[in-house]
Amino acid sequence: MANMNIKDIAKLSGVGIATVSRVINQTGYVSEKTRKKVLDVINEYNYIPNNSARNLKLTQSDNIALFVKYITNPFFGKMIDTIQQEVASRGYSLLIQNVDENSDELDFAISESMQRNLCGLIIMGGSYSAYTEAKFRQLGIPCVLLTVNSEGNVDPVLYSSVTINDELEGYRATKYLIEMGHRRIGFLYKDIENVVTPNILRYRGYIRALEENGIAVDERLIAPGLPSVSMGFRSGFQAMKSLMQKNPDMTAVFAFSDVLAIGAAKAVLASGKQIPGDISVIGFDGIEMAEFYNPTLDTVYQPATEMALSAVSLLHGMMRGEKTQHIVCDSVIMKRGSVKMMR
Amino acid sequence: MANMNIKDIAKLSGVGIATVSRVINQTGYVSEKTRKKVLDVINEYNYIPNNSARNLKLTQSDNIALFVKYITNPFFGKMIDTIQQEVASRGYSLLIQNVDENSDELDFAISESMQRNLCGLIIMGGSYSAYTEAKFRQLGIPCVLLTVNSEGNVDPVLYSSVTINDELEGYRATKYLIEMGHRRIGFLYKDIENVVTPNILRYRGYIRALEENGIAVDERLIAPGLPSVSMGFRSGFQAMKSLMQKNPDMTAVFAFSDVLAIGAAKAVLASGKQIPGDISVIGFDGIEMAEFYNPTLDTVYQPATEMALSAVSLLHGMMRGEKTQHIVCDSVIMKRGSVKMMR
DNA sequence: TTGTATGCGTTATCAC
DNA sequence: GTGATAACGCATACAA
């Protein structure tokens, strides 16, 4: 009784296995009477078709995979939820895989795609520069990059992407601080140079905004990213602490993410200073926590739900033969309680 | 060139498929020369064995699944990370599946287990009362429940579990508030009655602490859970707002989770009151964000990493034939800045 | 040490 | 309408 197979069901129903298969997959004609009988047996014995055999036989599966570079990133939470629901509602099943620091997400994806017979995949997070054309070709199934793209290294017909313009949004956030009268503006957290990430792009926007406004870039105001560091609250806290020590005249900080911003905010408050009284803080992402922090944090809000929906929609289209697309969404600066106008 | 199979590799290497299989699986004897040749061909063509075929053939797979009821719950983040690493380090691969509100996690698990040929699974979250003995029997593979167990409805040899004593910890948290001099203590958030969740157990602890200390239970101090509500910051915020309106004399609140506690804290602060000056707040879980909130929130800290490690270790043991176990971990009350002694 | 043949549970193509 | 039967890609007992 442990594991029934289609043969057992056929025998118990007194029909051939082809008929059982027809009933299960609703393909071809089966008389109402036999159908009912087979269904009864299936239910009675709790028979579930073996997916490995099915995948082996079928070219097409209905498995979509979501690869997430750091699944614990709160910003990804809402997106994962949305993708999950959207994928399910379209009748596919979703496999979620966390990609750790040291793995190349595309290599991983290629391997998993063959092993698990995926029909499509979404890659969330990671860096812009990890992708090569050869890998996309080897992948051979529809792929959507979410929050990053390949920055022109790869023929754009090979994949779709949904991103924001990180450089531009970094620029805008910094400009907003400048317009509020700030000149000594810290930046949390700059990645190592040789890789292109949203982080680095936002940093470039920060630099551009400073330069366009005649403010000298000061390395002391920039908290360096550590290799293989988890970008948690604590990182933000510690980086901000050291930034404040080095720059007593700093009046504002632009954090690469809301998580870092919250850690940074705590460092400010723990040192006895006020937000935004003494130091203004702006984050990035627009996670719910930023809204419920005390004080409510200004942030560059990314339309996470919309982005997730677009990603699934794009993937679905590609699976039906539609062309790839590269969508760039707009962010919006949420002006709340953590940035003060300098007089 | 698209998808190679073992036959192609055999042909290209000038050997039989059995030899290729031996090379791949490192089973049986293969001469160093042939091994090298086969390996070269495999690498050249980027051959990856088809896992469906392998699973079909093999009784044993190395797929462990993690089913998470609400993957976006921040408390689960650290656990997911830990489990991921631990599973990988033991040479298994981890599939993560989000279980939504309306799905029965065990039904889902049974179905997935057969479809994907799992060798073990961990279920995180959910309710105590969703499990029946029949389902565990049908499942037929080692299963560890994390953060819940089946509360005696099911023969304990059928599964392992790692939990805390929710009732006791709820009791302790409440008692702590009472010892700090509070009498009008709110509770956020009571689930619907007919299901047993950690939430309900903590609520029972709350009730017991009140009764043992001669404090009358007042329904107005208890924020009811809504059916199918996502327990987010906003829920906590709104529930707290209504609690404060109904109870101007309330001096403390015990929230079922840190996320709710943060939402509640924001509601307190937004109304112009102080924490802990006017209202004391204690949460539950010990997520990182509670530590970085302003003010730092008192909470009942669950040893998430330790619990996750235990779960994987238990599962691994069961897969090797060891007996099931039911581990109950200790929590610890983190006394920080959000609870004040009433004079 | 290596190759051949069989079967794992399905689906799909045939005949019936 | 229905039932044999040939793949699908792989691991393995068995033969060489």
Interface check for B24 against chain A (CB to CB < 8 A): the answer is no
Interface check for B184 against chain A (CB to CB < 8 A): the answer is no
Structure tokens, B117: 């040929």
Provide the pLDDT for residue A134.
84
Nearest-CA neighbor of B72 among B33, B20, B31, B124?
Answer: B124
In angstroms, the CA A104 to CA A98 distance is 12
CB–CB of B74 and A74 under 8 A? yes
Average pLDDT over residues B213-222: 97
> Could you tell me which chain B residue has the CA closest to the CA of A288?
B233
Of A51, A232, A292, the CB nearest to B263: A292
Nearest-CA neighbor of B192 among B218, B162, B222, B171?
Answer: B222
Provide the pLDDT for residue A141.
87
CB–CB of A52 and B49 under 8 A? no
Residues 202-241 in B contacting A (C-alpha not used; CB under 8 Å): 232-234, 237
Provide the pLDDT for residue B29.
85
Residues 44-83 in B contacting A (C-alpha not used; CB under 8 Å): 46, 48-53, 55-56, 71-72, 74, 77-78, 80-81
* Cis? peptide before A295, omega within 30° of 0: yes
Residue nearest to nucleotide C12 (CA to C1'): A18
Per DSSP bridges, beta strands A93-99 and A63-69 are parallel
Q: Mean pLDDT, chain B, as a whole number? A: 90
pLDDT over 90 at A218, yes or no: yes
Provide the pLDDT for residue A320.
86
CB–CB of A2 and B140 under 8 A? yes
* Residue-range domains of chain A with CATH: 6-55 (1.10.260.40), 65-130+141-164+303-330 (3.40.50.2300), 166-302 (3.40.50.2300)
- Chain B residues in contact with A292 (beta carbon < 8 A): 233-234, 237, 262-263, 265-266
Computed over its alpha carbons, how large is the radius of gyration of chain B? 25
Confidence of residue A230 (pLDDT cuts 50, 70, 90): low
Per-residue pLDDT of B186-210, as tens digits, reads 999 988 777 888 999 999 999 999 9
Nearest-neighbour CA in chain B from A295: distance (Å): 8
Per-residue pLDDT of B153-162, as tens digits, reads 899 999 999 9
Average pLDDT over residues A13-40: 89
Instruction: List the Cα angle B271/B275/B278 in 5-degree steps.
Output: 75
Backbone φ and ψ of A277, nearest 5°? -50, -55
Average pLDDT over residues B96-118: 79
CB–CB of B3 and A111 under 8 A? no
Task: Please report which helix (H) or strand (E) contains residue A99, including its range.
Answer: strand A93-99
Q: pLDDT exceeding 90 applies to what percent of chain B?
A: 57
Provide the pLDDT for residue A228.
52
- Chain A residues in contact with B66 (beta carbon < 8 A): none
Confidence of residue A126 (pLDDT cuts 50, 70, 90): confident
Asked if B295 contacts B337 with a C-beta cutoff of 8 angstroms, the reply is yes
- Chain B residues in contact with A262 (beta carbon < 8 A): 289, 292
More confident residue, A3 or A185: A185
Average pLDDT over residues A299-303: 98
Q: Judge if the beta carbon of A39 is closer than 7 A to nucleic acid strand C.
A: no
pLDDT over 90 at B300, yes or no: yes
Per DSSP bridges, beta strands B63-69 and A63-69 are unpaired
CB–CB of A98 and B98 under 8 A? no
pLDDT over 60 at A325, yes or no: yes
Per-residue pLDDT of B241-260, as tens digits, reads 999 999 999 999 999 999 99
Q: For A49-53, A214-218, B118-122, B239-243, which range has the lowest pLDDT when averaged over its residues? A: A49-53
pLDDT over 70 at A59, yes or no: no
- Chain B residues in contact with A72 (beta carbon < 8 A): 77-78, 80-81
DSSP-assigned letter for residue A343: -
Confidence of residue B229 (pLDDT cuts 50, 70, 90): low
In angstroms, the CA B118 to CA A112 distance is 15
Per DSSP bridges, beta strands B332-334 and B298-301 are antiparallel
Q: Mean pLDDT, chain A, as a whole number? A: 90
Confidence of residue A229 (pLDDT cuts 50, 70, 90): low
Asked if A102 contacts A169 with a C-beta cutoff of 8 angstroms, the reply is no
Provide the pLDDT for residue B228.
52
pLDDT over 60 at B51, yes or no: yes
3-state secondary structure chain B: CCCCCHHHHHHHHCCCHHHHHHHHHCCCCCCHHHHHHHHHHHHHHCCCCCHHHHHHHCCCCCEEEEEEECCCCHHHHHHHHHHHHHHHHCCCEEEEEEECCCCCHHHHHHHHHHHHCCCEEEEECCCHHHCCHHHHHHHCCCEEEECCCCCCCCCHHHCEEEEECHHHHHHHHHHHHHHCCCCCEEEEEECCCCCCCHHHHHHHHHHHHHHHCCCCCCHHHEEECCCCCCCCHHHHHHHHHHHHHHCCCCCEEEECCHHHHHHHHHHHHHCCCCCCCCCEEEEEECCHHHHHCCCCCEEEECCHHHHHHHHHHHHHHHHCCCCCCEEEECCEEECCCCCCCCC
In angstroms, the CA A232 to CA B296 distance is 16
Contacts for A109 with CB less than 8 Å, ≥ 6 apart? A65, A67, A121, A123, A139, A143
pLDDT over 60 at A4, yes or no: yes
Provide the pLDDT for residue A333.
98
Confidence of residue B285 (pLDDT cuts 50, 70, 90): very high
